[in-house]
Chains A and B, each alone.
Chain A
């Protein structure tokens, strides 16, 4: 199959969505599919680039408008996107992330060209404020013609079904995965057995519960054997540094700033306990990576997190200071007493995670979705327009029909047959 992944979020930007697209594409290529990625240009990185195993990436020339997303013009990109989809002979358009404009635009154009569309939702969204109402309506409009949706957790599925009003049976739950070969436990013994290091690795923003973390930090000010290692950067870094200074913990709290994803393992293996204080999370890659590195995970019970790890790998607590402190206390006690019924060998943890989450399994399940939708018939133009009508936003039909007219115009100016087909990159197998 020929698949086009489209999202505003891709390398060189770093995050869960980026990782997901890259790894999924890599395994799909190894399964013998053709995959291209469509994203907007990042600084100097524009045009066509090839990544590992010949993954072709189109960095289309668009200005970033807000939060790494391009300006939603809906119509202006029609010629370019149509050209790419024809050039690459795409059959399936796979959009990622509800916030990505490119994903929605490409899915609309792909749909009007008669391709099948899949959408993966990586985030959770509430219903209580104005911005949520607006974004949810946009998502509903965009997904009304989508063939299939993929969510990363069951909570995510509930959320997407409510937000975008897509039929339940058109939503699959396929989790993220972790490259357990890269996230392995440390092989060297610890120099000081009495000291316990608690690792935190996340962006330092409100949504990650850094305010809670700061208070928890304060509670450990009289515990000289407990050390903290905090990786990540963001607006809440000042708060942590302030607390660290007030509590006189400069010796014991390391705030090392942003860390490249390839170096995260090196940070994780320095610790014994991993703490996640997120206030909302669809899947939470970080706790899985930490568990793969053999750490005892303590996390807040929010969003999809309770679904991710079996109870012997994780201590779940409510998102408030007392509970998180209690959870850490529990984890520390397990460590000190060395209770063999509760303490798990780090390598066993790694093996468990490997069995639960690996990219081959994720890709295999995604492939099944592709196989299923490719058999679905392409609805007529009238049916597609009617599907958009269901969302109740009538003016949006103007956008859809304008896009359609643009594409008909492009068909006249540059007929499909005259678009040059891209040659597929042949990679020699190294035996």
Chain B
């Protein structure tokens, strides 16, 4: 019916297509659509390496709780626990500073340590009785939730909104203050708090610098050995969790990667590139 009018070619703009209806869809529709730009497929080994960070943190918490258990049952005296953990800390400190160790650094660090130890010791009677009035069940469940927070907010080296070092550290310290009240003497409490500082403040710094996936093997074996002395059900739980995290999760992650499908186009928010940071540094 309608006579064929020669009309200007449709253009992707908002002002020159008067001869076309508003709901006209040109064949160039979605021409700029791109699929899976910068798509990265991870291998099983890469996924496994990533998972070891989580296992490491879980093992760190497990070792801390083992320390608590041995202090609680009085199988280990506070002094020997302190000496044992202290020696490991010194070895790790030397490794950490090996490249550029200086006397000045050493003096600075010793000062810090002395301050922390002295003040910790002075306040240990207070810390010991701080959560005394709370029932043991509440303490244990609270410890569980705080340690869960610690795992959830811990910095595994990924950029994520959930990561928060202060929350993760505070949760762990809070948990250890809760546990300290269950011990028999203020000296025990002091030992536990020092150990918690070693595990939750110093160890993450150290492991972040030197972490290699195969470090997990001695750590897990050590934890298993100690757990065997404590309780078999806990040992089996621990092993199940480690297997789940390091075998099942990476496997599922690699398997499910085939569903990765993302679309990009002109509607995406432009990314401000990181060269901005460089210019900022130049100014300072």
Is A215 a contact of B276 with CB atoms below 8 Å? yes
Residues of A close to B266: CB separation below 8 A: 155, 158, 302-304
Cα distance A94–B30 when bound, in Å? 26
Tell me the dominant secondary structure on chain B's binding face: loop
Q: A154-B14, A215-B279, A218-B283 are in contact. List 14 more A-B contacts (CB 8 A).
A: A127-B264, A156-B267, A157-B29, A158-B30, A158-B267, A172-B21, A173-B14, A173-B23, A175-B14, A207-B269, A212-B276, A280-B268, A302-B270, A307-B14
- Binary B-proximity of A23-67 (CB < 8 A = 1, otherwise 0): 000000000000000000000000000000000000000000000
Q: Does B276 lie within 8 Å of A158, measured CB to CB? A: no
User: Which among A161, A280, A304, A321 is the interface contact of B269 at CB below 8 angstroms?
Assistant: A280
The reply to whether B267 and A308 contact each other, CB–CB distance below 8 Å, is no
Which residues does chain A contribute within 8 Å of B263, judged by CB atoms? 127, 162
Residues of B within 8 A of A148 (CB): 23
A168 at the interface (CB under 8 A from B): yes
In the complex, 15 of the A-B residue pairs with CB atoms within 8 angstroms, ordered by the A residue number, are A124-B267, A126-B267, A127-B263, A157-B25, A158-B30, A158-B32, A158-B265, A159-B265, A161-B29, A162-B263, A168-B25, A172-B22, A173-B22, A303-B267, A365-B22
Contact with B283, one of A162, A246, A319 (Cβ below 8 angstroms): A246
Bound-state Cα–Cα, A304 to B12, Å: 10
The proximity string for A residues 96-138 relative to B, scoring 1 for CB distances below 8 Å and 0 otherwise, is 0000000000000000000000000000111110000000000
Residues in A neighbouring B264, C-beta threshold 8 A: 127-128
Q: Which A residues are in CB contact (< 8 Å) with B21?
A: 172
CA distance A173 to B18 in the complex (A): 12
Contact partners of A368 in chain B: CB under 8 A: 22
Residues on B with C-beta less than 8 A from A282 are: 267
| B residues near A334, Cβ cutoff 8 Å | none
B84 on the interface (CB 8 Å rule)?
A: no
Complex CA–CA separation, A148 to B23 (angstroms): 10
Does A153 touch B at the CB level, under 8 Å?
Answer: yes
- A211, B12: Cβ atoms closer than 8 Å: no
Contacting pair A279 B267 (CB below 8 A): no
- B273 proximal to A (CB < 8 A): yes
Closest 5 CB pairs of A and B: A172-B22, A124-B267, A319-B270, A356-B15, A159-B267
Measured CB to CB, the residues of B under 8 A from A are: 12-15, 21-23, 25, 29-30, 32-33, 262-273, 275-276, 279, 283
Q: With both chains docked as a complex, state the minimum distance between the C-beta of A312 and any C-beta of chain B, in angstroms.
A: 12
Inter-chain contact B14/A209, CB cutoff 8 Å: no
User: Which single residue of chain A is at the shortest CB-CB distance from B16?
Assistant: A310
Q: Is A300 an interface residue (CB 8 A)?
A: yes
A206 and B279 CA atoms in complex are apart in Å by 18
Flag if A174 contacts B29 (CB, 8 Å). no
Question: Would A369 and B22 count as touching, CB distance under 8 A?
Answer: yes
Chain B residues near A307 (CB-CB < 8 A): 12-14
- Could you tell me which residues of chain A, from 166 to 209, have a CB within 8 Å of some CB in chain B? 168-175, 207, 209
Inter-chain contacts of A369 with B (CB < 8 A): 22
Q: How many Å lie between the Cα of A126 and that of B262 in the bound state?
A: 10
Contact of A169 among B14, B15, B23, B270 (CB under 8 A): B23
Please pick, from B13, B29, B262, the residue contacting A127 in the complex, using a CB distance under 8 A: B262
Q: How many whole Å from B32's CB to the nearest CB in chain A? A: 8
How many chain A residues touch the partner (CB < 8 A)?
A: 49
- Which residues does A use to contact B, with CB under 8 Å? 124-128, 148, 153-159, 161-162, 168-175, 207, 209, 211-212, 215, 218, 246, 279-280, 282, 300, 302-304, 306-308, 310, 319-321, 356-357, 365, 368-369
In the assembled complex, the Cα of A223 lies from the Cα of B4 at a distance in Å of 58
How long is the Cα–Cα vector from A419 to B268 in the complex, in angstroms?
Answer: 47
| From B25, B29, B30, B276, contact of A211 by CB (8 A) | B276
> A300 CA to B269 CA in the complex, in Å?
11
B267 partner, pick from A155, A168, A319, beta carbons under 8 A: A155
Q: Taking A127-B262, A158-B33, A162-B30 as contacts, is the C-beta distance between A169 and B25 under 8 angstroms?
A: yes
The interface residues of chain B lying within 8 Å CB-to-CB of A174 are 22
Q: Give complex CA distance A154, B28 in Å.
A: 11
- Asked if residues A154 and B12 are in contact (CB atoms below 8 Å), the reply is yes
Question: Residue A279 contacts which of B29, B272, B283 (CB distance < 8 angstroms)?
Answer: B272
Q: Please, how many angstroms separate the alpha-carbon atoms of A383 and B272 in the complex? A: 46
Least Cβ–Cβ distance between A177 and chain B, in angstroms? 10
Residues from chain A with a CB closer than 8 A to the CB of B265 are 155, 158-159, 162
Chain A residues whose C-beta falls within 8 Å of the C-beta of B32 in the assembled complex: 158
Q: Which of B270, B275, B283 contacts A300 (CB 8 A)?
A: B270
A168 to B22, CA, bound (A): 11
Contacts of A308 in B (CB 8 A): 13-14
In Å, the complex CA distance between A326 and B75 comes to 73
